[in-house]
Amino acid sequence: MKLLSGDIGGTKTWLQLAHFDGNTLTVLARQKYVSSAYNNAATMVSEFLTETGHQDLKIDGACFAVAGPIINGRVQLTNLPWDVNESTVAKELNIPCVVLINDFQAIGYGTDALEEKDLHTLQTGSPRPQATRALIGAGTGLGVALMSNDGEKYTVMPTEGGHVDFGPTNDIQMELLAYLRRKLHRVSVERVLSGQGLVNIYKFICDNPLYGEEESRELQFAMHNEDPAAAISRFATENNDPMARRALDIFVDLYGAQAGNLALMSLPYGGIYIVGGIAPKMLPQLTDGRFMKAYSDKGRMSRMLDDFPIHIVLDTQIGLKGAALYAARVCSQ
């Protein structure tokens, strides 16, 4: 099957064309586009196929991963004036089968296409075949999903697990919760475990400095002129900025603790997959032992958490692969 897949975001969109022979997904072409430069998805896809020399290729199916609620095969994107409709796109592009899928679901389906080089394993555990898989990914928000196997294939079950209550595990996190509660009606875990979450933690650190600490003017400037979370992470790792470093340490503690919470709720003997754009960029901080210490700090249940495999997904295009595999599943029926 020749399969078209897309990861549509408010800022950028990735498109991919691949061949699937029933076992192996082979990428034929992949490109990134500025979403706002186009009026609709079909126009962008047509340009992609022309630019890559595949305008005359017969495409068997297509799947687009989108961030937003899909209702009856249609989604109105939040940060992009696009109304994407499965039947309309299918007709405009002359593709017999077009489906829309939640972006985090696409990441889940993409786990079937991962190779050993795409993973950094934090814990091998004691994996069981066809067992539950769990996904957690900090990025723009905090995504959480579960995957169950019916004996033949995995199905992704999306959740709103990023919006559960933030539960502090030490004194500094208790102070962080009190700090955020003064600004917000309710503090979900996404408020501290996401790109904006890292910014929230850093602001808390700046408002509660240790003796001798001062906020870096250079970091202030960088946060104003680039992605604030990326700037904080960079100053922590490259400049050894003490306040940024403290913020990053808290972030890693929270990430590990929440992964442990997810493990207790799902018993994922099929593996916990740490996904999203932040994890590959923070690999040194996630692999120095701090994350795993927070993950396993579950009192009398700590021993059980040793049995679950934990992988950091390094492949940032996993969503495109997952969308293609989902298209193959749905469009071959």
207 annotated as a binding-site residue: no
272 annotated as a binding-site residue: no
Q: Per-residue DSSP letters for 250-288? A: HHHHHHHHHHHHHHHHH--TTEEEEESSHHHHTHHHHSS
11 annotated as a binding-site residue: yes
Q: Among 105, 100, 56, which residue's Cα sits nearest to residue 75?
A: 100
What is each CA distance from 307 to 137, 151, 182, 290, 312, in whole angstroms?
21, 21, 39, 18, 16
9 annotated as a binding-site residue: yes
Which residues are 74's β-sheet partners?
71, 85
Q: Give dist(CA 127, CA 120) in Å, integer.
A: 16
β-strand 83-85 against 74-76: which pairing, if any?
Answer: antiparallel
Q: What is the DSSP letter of 67?
A: S
Q: Give dist(CA 273, CA 277) in Å, integer.
A: 13
Which residues are 142's β-sheet partners?
138
Q: Is 249 exposed, middle or buried (0-12, 13-18, 19+ CB in 10 A)?
A: middle
Which residues are 275's β-sheet partners?
137
Phi, psi dihedrals of residue 222, rounded to the nearest 5°: -65, -40
Q: Give dist(CA 89, CA 145) in Å, integer.
A: 27
Beta strands in 44-87 (DSSP E): 61-66, 74-76, 83-85
10 annotated as a binding-site residue: yes
Q: Give me the residue label for tokens 């934990």.
A: 310
What is each CA distance from 293 to 38, 55, 94, 116, in whole angstroms?
46, 52, 52, 24
21 annotated as a binding-site residue: no
Binding residue positions: 6-11
Binding-site residue positions for ATP:
6-11
